[in-house]
Structure formats: C-alpha cells, structure tokens
C-alpha cells in the first residue's frame, strides 16, 4: 500500500513582521490567497516561501514567522500562499498534487507579483522545505530569472516513506528484523499497486505493516478502502517507479536537473531528521550542484525535519512531549548572514 510522508510545518513564533499585506493570484481558474511581508528598509529582492506536503493554514496561523523575519532582516520581502482548498484559497486540496503542477503554481505566483509591480520582484529567490525540494528545482528549470534557492530538509529523487517508517519504528524499540519485515511489506505493497494488483492481494501482502501502531496513528486510524485503493491505483500506475526498491520516482533524471542549477544554493539539514534521509540528499547535492562552487551546506546536530531542536527527531515527538519550539543555535542568524553576503 502507498503511504505518504506528511511534513508538518508548525507555527514557530508570534513575531510581528513589518508591512504585511494580503496578495492573491490566479492559478488554473482558482484564486489563491497569500501574504506579503516587506522590510522597512530598501528591498533587495523577494523570497517565495514554498511549503512541504500536507494541508496549509499558513496565512491564518502566520507560519514560518521567524524565518520570514530573518529573511526580512537581510533586506528581502517574502511571499507565502496557502495551497488550493486551504485557508482562503479556492479549489480542492489534493494531497497527491504532482510536483510539476506545484511548480507551475509557484511560477503563476511569481508572474502575478511581477505584473503587480510588487517591490522586490526584480530579484526572486526561493525558500522551501521537504517536498519543496522537488518543486523548486523545477521552478528554476522553467523560470530562469530565479537568483537563489534555500533548500531546507531537501529530498532526493524518490519517495522517502520507507526511511520515515524504518527510523520511527526503530525509535519505538521494535526489533530490527521486525522493522525490516515491515518495510519490506511496504515496498511489496507499492509494487502490487503499481503493477495493477488487486486490493485483496495488497491487503494480504501488508498484514504486518497495517498492524503497526505507528502506521495506524500516522493514518489517523483509517484503513484504505477498496474504493480509495482503486482510485489511487489508477494514478499510481502511471507514475515513474523503481520496482527494486518499491519507491515512486518523483522526478526522473533529478540529479541532472540539479546539476543544471547555477544560482547560489543554501542547503539546510537537521541531523536528527527522521522523515527524510538527509545524508542521501546532502550527497546528491554535493555530486550535482556542489561541482559549480555555488552550494553552501549547513547542518544542525540536534534539529529535526522541521528544523526545531529535538531529542530524537521522531515523527510524533513534539506531539507527545512538552517540548519548546526552539530553533537550533545559529540557524536564523546563518540564514540572514547567507542572504546578506550573497553577492560577496
């Protein structure tokens, strides 16, 4: 069975940002709602905030307030919008929205900002987390005027849920051989779906997987119905897929696409990320973008996928414990410093 990785983006601060205003744009006949934040000084450019997977309440809940403030401090405006069917954005939320379509959505936002002659649009950069690591390279490929990219908890070319599943089951103390069996069932379930297998066959092949407390909680206690299975299967059978690993390939030839990026890139990773294998992404970035000398990598030892200080990095760690949402030392300062010295 196919289970996707939610990358929760949490409200992290109540900082008051200067000169906030709403700004809407049209995409595929729908109006999407967003918010501009602008520094009080001369504006050097603008950073588009691109979300990870899952629903958003970004505008209403003031998401990434401290990150946007750090960007403003460097003299850059920011623009952040809610996905379709979220907040005040029109349309229907689609968890499985193709990353290619999400990239077109970002480009539509940029074009609207430029058409509106919004200050800062003479130099557009991108900030994105998790799933945005697929979206933003496609934006850069299609929209050559992008001048930099800040990648947070970036992804490699393939589905990452096998890593998330394995790491979080191990945190629960499940024996390694049992974890390996469960992850193997996940991959086999994906193969069955992709190769046109029936609902019954997929259910039989994933018995241990579906019994895990972690997965039940991850899916809010919901089992996939036959109707949902068959509806998803129609789309999934068309996806690029690696039968050996049981992983969807989100962007074919991803390494080559990254290697074409010539703008400065800041890649940020939490070393306790249990959602995405940051080491694989880091190595991928170094093989591709690192060759041109425009890549800067920052890692934070006690940070999780969402770049908060943590103990384990587990998926439900903050939900289950009374932990403060605190950024790792130097993270926000590093972000501001990198932007301030872009043209050095």
Q: Is the model's pLDDT at 9 over the cut of 60?
A: no
* Angle between helix 176-194 and helix 226-236 axes, rounded to 10 deg: 70
Mean pLDDT of 120-147: 97
pLDDT at 322: 87
Q: Is 139 exposed, middle or buried (CB count within 10 Å of its CB: 0-12, 13-18, 19+)?
A: buried
Contact 335, 67 (CB under 8 A): yes
Residues β-bridged to residue 308: none
| pLDDT over 70, % of the chain | 94
Please report the pLDDT score of residue 18 as a whole number: 62
Distance of CA 171 to the CA centre of its chain: 23
In the chain the domains, ranked by start, together with CATH numbers, are 20-157+251-340 (3.40.50.1820), 161-248 (no CATH)
Question: Environment class of residue 341 by beta-carbon count within 10 Å: exposed (0-12), middle (13-18) or buried (19+)?
Answer: exposed
User: In this predicted model, what pLDDT tens digit does every residue of 59-90 receive, in sequence order?
Assistant: 999 999 999 999 999 999 999 999 999 999 99
Q: How confident is the model at residue 13 (pLDDT cuts 50, 70, 90)?
A: very low
pLDDT of residue 192: 98
Query: String of b and e for 200-209 (b: at least 16 CB within 10 Å)?
Result: eebbebbeeb
User: Counting Cβ atoms within 10 Å, is residue 234 exposed (0-12), middle (13-18) or buried (19+)?
Assistant: exposed
Tell me if residue 107 falls in helix, strand or coil: helix
Question: Using CA atoms, how far apart are residues 111 and 274, in angstroms rounded to an integer?
Answer: 36
- Residue 42 has what pLDDT? 86
Give the model confidence (pLDDT) of 42-53 as tens digits: 899 999 999 999
Label residue 327 by pLDDT band (50, 70, 90): very high
Beta strand spans in 102-261 (E): 124-129, 146-152, 241-242, 247-248
CA distance 50 to 153: 12
- pLDDT at position 10: 38
Residue pLDDT, tens place only, 260-283: 999 999 999 999 999 999 999 999
Residues 6+ apart with CB under 8 A from 50: 102, 106, 126, 127, 128, 129, 132, 135, 136, 139
Is 14 a residue whose pLDDT tops 70?
no
Q: Which of 221, 213, 215, 223 is nearest to 186 (CA)?
A: 215
Answer yes or no: is pLDDT of 15 > 50: no
Are 202 and 193 in contact by the 8 Å Cβ rule? The answer is: yes
Q: Which of 28, 183, 186 is nearest to 107 (CA)?
A: 28
């Amino acid at each position: 069975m196919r289970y996707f990785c939610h990358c929760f983006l949490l409200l992290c601060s109540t900082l008051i940002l200067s000169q906030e205003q709403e700004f809407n744009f049209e995409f595929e006949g729908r109006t999407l709602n967003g918010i501009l934040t602008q520094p009080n000084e001369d504006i050097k450019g603008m950073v588009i905030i691109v979300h990870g997977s899952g629903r958003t309440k970004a505008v209403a809940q003031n998401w990434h307030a401290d990150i946007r403030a750090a960007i403003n401090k460097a003299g850059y405006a920011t623009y952040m919008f809610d996905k379709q069917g979220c907040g005040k954005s029109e349309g229907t939320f689609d968890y499985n929205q193709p990353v290619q379509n999400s990239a077109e959505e970002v480009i539509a936002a940029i074009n609207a900002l430029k058409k509106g002659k919004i200050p800062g649009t003479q130099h557009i950069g991108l900030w994105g987390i998790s799933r945005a690591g697929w979206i933003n390279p496609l934006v850069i490929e299609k929209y050559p005027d992008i001048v930099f990219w800040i990648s947070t908890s970036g992804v490699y070319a393939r589905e990452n849920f096998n890593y998330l599943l394995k790491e979080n089951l191990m945190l629960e103390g499940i024996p390694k051989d049992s974890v390996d069996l469960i992850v193997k069932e996940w991959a086999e379930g994906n193969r069955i779906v992709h190769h046109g297998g029936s609902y019954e066959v997929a259910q039989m092949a994933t018995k241990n997987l579906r019994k895990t407390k972690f997965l039940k909680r991850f899916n809010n206690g919901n089992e996939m119905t036959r109707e949902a299975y068959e509806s998803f299967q129609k789309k999934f059978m068309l996806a690029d897929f690696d039968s050996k690993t049981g992983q969807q390939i989100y962007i074919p030839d991803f390494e080559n696409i990254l290697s074409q990026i010539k703008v400065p890139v800041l890649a940020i990773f939490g070393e306790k990320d249990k959602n995405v294998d940051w080491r694989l992404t880091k190595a991928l970035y170094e093989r591709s973008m690192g060759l041109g000398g425009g890549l800067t990598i920052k890692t934070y030892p006690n940070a999780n996928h969402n770049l908060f200080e943590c103990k384990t990095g587990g998926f439900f760690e903050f939900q289950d414990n009374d932990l403060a949402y605190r950024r790792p030392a130097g993270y926000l300062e590093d972000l501001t410093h990198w932007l301030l010295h872009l043209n050095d």
